Structure formats: structure tokens, C-alpha cells
Structure 1
Amino acid sequence: MRTDCENIEKLDDQIKRLIDDMFETMAAANGVGLAAPQIGKSLNLFCVDVTGWEDEEDMPLTDTVTKRVFINPEIVELSGEPVKFKEGCLSLPGINEDVEREQSVTIRFLDENFDEQTETFSGIMARAIQHEYDHIHGKLFADYLTPLRKSLLKSKLAKMSKGIHTAKYRCKNQ
């Protein structure tokens, strides 16, 4: 999960099945996003589904699109005053920390039909996109934490690296 991923050259049945499996995995784990490297695939692919965040007060849903596939994405622009929000990750179960991210993201990508799109998202969708985009470039949200916060989480992170965690879903280290 700490390396850049490879572009997907064509949309075939294997990639379509992978996308379906990623949405299913994400839903089963109560996640809002999942990137291919999180499931051991070094591909420039992530899925986001923020359905159900409509009533979230701290990070409201501001887009009409709530579910999307991003293949070979490239962030074109980040904009808006950065906002802190408590973020978590399926790869770091049980850890939720404040992370600052821009309010809007413009991203160019191929959709689930392999059609090129360039769209701007804001709110929770923008946050989820930035989070998952980081995964395909070898970053975790914990990389944004201050050294003090990281040191306070050190024992939890060490346990996770050994496969010891409290997630109710199977993790790669198990």
C-alpha cells in the first residue's frame, strides 16, 4: 500500500468483477470508499459510496452523486478552505483522527464504462475522493497526523502491523 499503482489499460470482465467486489466489500465493512491497493491490487482504481451521509452535520452531502467508480484518476484541482474532519480508514480499523482536506476536488477519471469524465465534487464526496486517491499513491490518512498524534497511536499501529486489531472484517494481515 505504500507504492504508486498501475493504470488500467482496458475494461474487461475481470475489472468489472473487481469493481463489484469492491463495492460489496466496502458495504460489508460500513466504509464509504475502497481503493484497489487496500485489497492487494496495485491498480489505479477506487470506489466511493457516500449514500447515507445526507444527515451528517459535520460533513454534509453536497453533491447529488453519491456512488462512483474512479479508474486511472488524476486530481486536476483542489480548492476551498481546508476543513478538519474526523477521518477513519478500513485499513486502520479503530483509528479516527482529525485530518484537514480541501472542500472541493476536480478530478479527471474513467468511469465504470471506461468513459472519460472530469467533474468537481465537494463535501463528503470530495473528502472521500481525496482519501482514496491517496491510497493509490501510497499514502494513508495517518500520514497527515502530527508527530505527537502519531506517537500517541504508535502502539495501536504496531499491533495492526502484526494483524492485531478490532475490525469486524477480515484484514490483509490476517
Structure 2
Amino acid sequence: MIKPVVHDPAALTTVAAPATRADAQVITDLRDTLAAHQAACVGMAANMIGVNKRIIIIQVGPLAIPLVNPEITHQSGPYQAQEGCLSLTGERSATRYRDIRVRFLDQHFHPQQQAFSGFSAQIVQHELDHCNGILI
């Protein structure tokens, strides 16, 4: 179901709680909401739709990839990026890493590990900031 996008900084700066199988519907809601905003958005975190859980989704080409309880286990190649956010107006500067490795659960709550680089890595880092209560 498409959910309204949260713009309240107080809600967006709260650290998200770990997700459980009981939160599976949030993945569908994130996928639907991301698709509804595809012209202006390449990733979302659950707190952006009012659910304070560690679930993100990123758009990589035609695929919308959910990551449950994601954790960066390796990062390299720091750089400065200019980023916008669907929940906030304008762009801001953020330090990002060109290459990251992430441990997470997939949409079926099976453990995964994946390397991301370039723009995909930047999206993951931005959405993880949301989970950690960090606004760029």
C-alpha cells in the first residue's frame, strides 16, 4: 500500500528498532511507496513512511531491493556527495564511501551479504542514515 511520506524531523531523527518477521508488510508498503515516487526517489527507509524499523529499499535499475536490518561491514573510498531527500527540501553535503559491503536479511528474512559500489552504495548509506536517525 502506498503510504504518505513523513516530513517531520523529530520522527526522522529517531533511531529505528530492529525489524522482525512481523514487519514483513512494511517491505510491501516501501516497495509500493517507492514506485509511486520513482520520478524523484531511488531509495526509502521505513521511518520515511512512519514505521520506525530498520528496513530500507533501494532502486537499482529495474529492481527494488529490500534490505532488512542492514549493517555495513566494510567501507572504502570516502568522497563528498550532494544529496537530496524525499522527506526534506534542498540538497546537502554528506561523506559517502564508493565501496561498501552490507550484511542484511532479504525479504524472506534469509541472511545475505552483498557488495555495493558507486551510486548504489551511496543510496544504501543514505537510507542507513535514516535508520540511524541521521538527517543529511
2:122 is paired with a residue whose SS is helix
Structure 2 residue ranges without an equivalent (≥5): 1-11
1 or 2, which has the higher strand percentage?
2
1:2 paired residue number? 13
Q: Please, what TM-score do these two structures have when normalized by structure 2? A: 0.81
Q: Is the 8 A contact 2:79 2:97 kept in 1?
A: yes
2:61 paired residue number? 51
Q: Is the 8 A contact 1:72 1:110 kept in 2?
A: yes
Is residue 2:47 matched to residue 1:37? yes
1:72 paired residue number? 69
Structure 1 residue ranges without an equivalent (≥5): 53-65, 142-174
1:121 paired residue number? 116
Q: Is the 8 A contact 2:57 2:65 kept in 1?
A: yes
Question: What root-mean-square deviation, in Å, do the aligned CA atoms of Structure 1 and Structure 2 show?
Answer: 1.7
Shift of 1:9: 2.5
- Deviations, residues 27-78 of structure 1 (Å, cap 9, x unaligned): 22231110011111110111101327xxxxxxxxxxxxx5311111111111
2:103 is paired with a residue whose SS is strand
Cα distance change, pair 101–69 in 1 and its aligned pair in 2 (3 A): same
After the TM superposition, which segments of 4 or more aligned residues of structure 1 sit over 6 Å from their partners? Answer: none
Aligned residues: 123
Is residue 2:73 matched to residue 1:92? no
